[in-house]
A and B are shown apart, each in its own frame.
Chain A
């Protein structure tokens, strides 16, 4: 099993450009989520999904869009990148609404100039 796979690992954007961070999991997990991690701020939840076709906002959703058309994939879209979105992004998944552990990807480091 590959677990949670994120692409790309590194990306540099100019202000105003758009891009999509990809996340795929092969564990048949219902729950998927996106976090950003900034120095001194910890992990903050951007968006999450409890199943295909269902998404909801987390703590810091502004500037980001998500969709969940399949169980396996949960892409994060930046429509018009801003320097404040420079961060390390982590995708994570777990089984449904259980107490189960959250499995994380390796992260995507994004720099917006």
Chain B
């Protein structure tokens, strides 16, 4: 059974204070690891897909990296508008379905 653990549960940063969010996973044959952003009262919005260890993807102040056991979402010089819940999910083996972690709630203070 696929498992995804995200840490910390919540993170409070000052504007401009860089940090990283962690996603640890256990799967049998990773097909893809996904990062989503979710704003309050909205559905999750896709950010990145990573397929193999060593891969990196960037978008504005966000950079996602992948190893064989975990993924990091690095946030460089965050702004208040980066405040949201960040979800990690994995797809494995022959399955189409995604297994999600519980999410990390990020608050960035001005």
Footprint of B on A, CB under 8 Å? Answer: 4, 31, 33, 35, 40-45, 48, 50, 58, 90, 92, 94, 96-97, 99, 101-107
Give the tally of cross-chain contacts (CB within 8 A). Answer: 52
B46→A101 contact, CB < 8 A:
yes
B-side contacts of A106, CB under 8 Å: 42-43
B41→A48 contact, CB < 8 A:
no
B43→A105 contact, CB < 8 A:
yes
Instruction: Closest A residue to B32 by CB, please name it.
Output: A99
B88 vs chain A, min Cβ distance (A) = 10
Q: Contacts A90-B44, A107-B42 given: A102-B51 contact, CB under 8 Å?
A: no
Secondary structure class of chain A's binding surface, majority of residues = strand
Q: Contacts A42-B87, A90-B44 given: A101-B100 contact, CB under 8 Å?
A: no
- Say yes or no for B98: interface residue by CB 8 A criterion: yes
Q: What are 20 contact pairs spanning A and B, CB under 8 A?
A: A4-B43, A31-B96, A33-B97, A40-B102, A42-B87, A42-B103, A43-B87, A45-B97, A50-B96, A90-B43, A90-B44, A92-B43, A99-B32, A101-B46, A101-B49, A102-B44, A102-B98, A103-B46, A105-B43, A106-B42
A-side contacts of B51, CB under 8 Å: 99
A-side contacts of B34, CB under 8 Å: 101-102
Assembled-state Cα–Cα distance A107/B45 (Å): 12
Instruction: Closest A residue to B4 by CB, please name it.
Output: A42
User: Which B residues between 24 and 82 are near A, CB-CB below 8 angstroms?
Assistant: 31-32, 34, 41-46, 49, 51
B-side contacts of A107, CB under 8 Å: 41-43
